[in-house]
Amino acid sequence: METGQGRPGVAATLRALNGALGRPAALWVKESGARNLRHRDFLAPRAALSAAFPGGQVPDDVVAGVTSLGGPGVLAVRGCQETPAGLAVQLRRPEAFRRLLGPLPGPAPGPPAGWVVLHCPALRSSAALRPRHLRPLLLADHLAQLLRTQRVGVRLVPALAEEGSREVLRQLRVDWPSGSGGSDLPGTISALKEALGQCPCAAACEQGPGTATLPDDVICKVHLKSFVEQQGLVGYDPNLDVLLVTEGKLRSLAELQQAVLECVAAGQGSHCSIVHVVSCEEEFQQQQLDLLWRILDPGAHTALQKHLVCGPVKVTNPSSPIGADQYFQLRKRQMYEASVMKYGELAQDETWTEVIDALTVAAIRFEMLSTAHRSQITLDLEDSSISTKGTKSGAFVMYNCARLATLFDTYQRAVERGTYPPLPPASELNFSCLQEEGEWLLLFKYLLPFPEVLQQAAQLPEPTKGIRITANTETVCKFLIQLSMDFSSYYNRVHILGEPFPHLFDQMFARLQLLGAVRDVFHSALATLHLPPLSQI
């Protein structure tokens, strides 16, 4: 569901509304609450109108211009009126249903619109992965999928070498490359060593009486602080001083260097950004590597490095430090027990193994990703902390996705029995039958803005100052949780598959078309989290 020529969009409609008022400022807001949507879809608040027009009075010809809005991507206006809250607009809802639930343009073909290298230093640790490592890892995996939905090419670094880490990532459905890290890694390392030998910031490590013994793999030391001061760089830790350069650090830079060169070659010289997705515990070490790379390769790409820093992951009352694998197995056991409690012996059937695995991954991904990346996460590992239906959980999202699958399976079996006719083409449906307020809420709050939600979640802004960036990586999880709550409320209240009487079919068909689009949104959003849509729970 791409925002294209034929698909209405929030941004295009807001631009048209602001243009109709003839003011450069963004005066309109899109409503999202069920109460306000009973009366209006967009509002130009009274305070904004008072600032834009003398006495806050909008001229009649301007109001008429709002009412006659049209154009590609713009939703048609049914009416515009002055209210105590401001200038209120209501859309032509049956037409909006028709335009959004009919055939939509597919993704635009073409080469990637730029490239991004996502670097996750947590995978370089020789120690076993812990929950604090999972957060930047799952975030990088999700961000990669989001960027791909926006036609951005992605390379993930480093290549996975540890067999134990590979198994944990497989369990969590993380799609990460494995291998040696590049076809000409030794050559790239040699080139970096050569640059190091000519670097004015580098100095030999003197060893002798009174000096500390250095590890055998130390090549030299580099003065980072003087480089930061000379270059006028901002945003770096003031405690950065001297870095001992090792073979391992050069290997890390070589992998990044190769990934960038491959992206540039694939994009025929197009723009390539580097984003280090790091935990707050790894931030200092990554800043050291960032500066070393800038010193050894003063190219444009090293100056484009950004740091996406994840806040701490606090585990409550652990009896001992818990590994990522133990964390997964604990959540899996809890999800199994919660499922048995809810569904009884059904949940002990072999066919439920995949369901329990998917619910476990959903629980972990939503725990890690539904909070803004810079904020702390607290993991409660007690048995009471997990549920198959808690409204803030990944399991709740999966449950509602499965309800949609069950609905359409039930309908299809009824069609095969001859109880209902098949669903007609969208062009033949009567969308004026959709009068229930929950139906407009699902369309206006979720189906309409969904492409822009993905776009916002994938957006990587330039750092305003320094090297840190803040991304909206929690957007999709929050969107899915809110969608699940509003869909669940609607589904519990409205009977979709009614009595098989011909005079009720128009409404049933329109509702099925709407919920089919809701199902597609669930599937597309879950795909960015590598979560499979379940057919049963």
Query: Is residue 188 predicted with pLDDT exceeding 60?
Result: yes
What single-letter DSSP state applies at residue 286? H
Residue 391: which pLDDT band, with cuts at 50, 70 and 90? Answer: low
Q: What is the model's pLDDT at position 288?
A: 95
Sequence-ordered list of residues with C-beta below 8 angstroms from that of 19, at least 6 positions apart, any chain: none
Query: Is residue 182 predicted with pLDDT exceeding 80?
Result: no
Q: Are 458 and 149 in contact (CB under 8 A)?
A: yes
Return the higher-pLDDT residue of 129 and 182: 129
Q: What is the model's pLDDT at position 181?
A: 54
Q: Which range, 56-70, 332-346, 519-533, is most confident?
A: 519-533
Q: Which range, 196-200, 218-222, 322-326, is most confident?
A: 322-326
Distance CA 177, CA 531 (A): 18
Residue 108: which pLDDT band, with cuts at 50, 70 and 90? Answer: low
Q: What is the model's pLDDT at position 386?
A: 64
In the predicted model, what is the mean pLDDT of residues 13-18? 92
Distance CA 171, CA 194 (A): 41
Give me the amino acid identity at 138: L
Closest residue by Cα to residue 83 from 44, 37, 51:
44
Q: What is the model's pLDDT at position 210?
A: 47
Q: What is the model's pLDDT at position 5?
A: 47
Neighbouring CB atoms inside 10 A of 428's CB total: 9
In the predicted model, what is the mean pLDDT of residues 56-71? 87
Return the higher-pLDDT residue of 287 and 350: 287
What single-letter DSSP state applies at residue 257? H
pTM for this model (two decimals): 0.91
Lowest-confidence segment of 19-33, 402-416, 472-486 by average pLDDT = 19-33
Query: Is residue 254 predicted with pLDDT exceeding 90?
Result: yes
Query: Is residue 50 predicted with pLDDT exceeding 70?
Result: yes
Structure tokens at 313: 């992951």
Q: What is the model's pLDDT at position 2?
A: 38
Q: Which helix (H) or strand (E) holds 276?
A: strand 272-279
What single-letter DSSP state applies at residue 519? H
Chain-wide mean pLDDT for the chain?
A: 87
What Cα–Cα distance (Å) separates residue 475 from each residue in 111, 275, 359, 480? 26, 19, 20, 9
Percent of the chain with pLDDT over 90: 59
What CATH class is the domain 115-315? alpha beta
Q: What is the model's pLDDT at position 202?
A: 76
Lowest-confidence segment of 92-96, 103-107, 213-217 by average pLDDT = 103-107
In the predicted model, what is the mean pLDDT of residues 499-521? 95
DSSP 317-385: S-SSPPPHHHHHHHHHHHHHHHHHHHHGGGGGSTTHHHHHHHHHHHHHHHHHHSS-TTS-EEE--SGGG
Q: What is the model's pLDDT at position 388?
A: 54
Return the higher-pLDDT residue of 121 and 342: 121
Which sequence spans correspond to the domains of the chain? 10-91, 115-315
Distance CA 60, CA 78 (A): 16
Q: What is the model's pLDDT at position 357?
A: 92
Structure tokens at 253: 């830079």
Query: Is residue 1 predicted with pLDDT exceeding 50?
Result: no
Q: What is the model's pLDDT at position 271?
A: 74
Residue 4: which pLDDT band, with cuts at 50, 70 and 90? Answer: very low
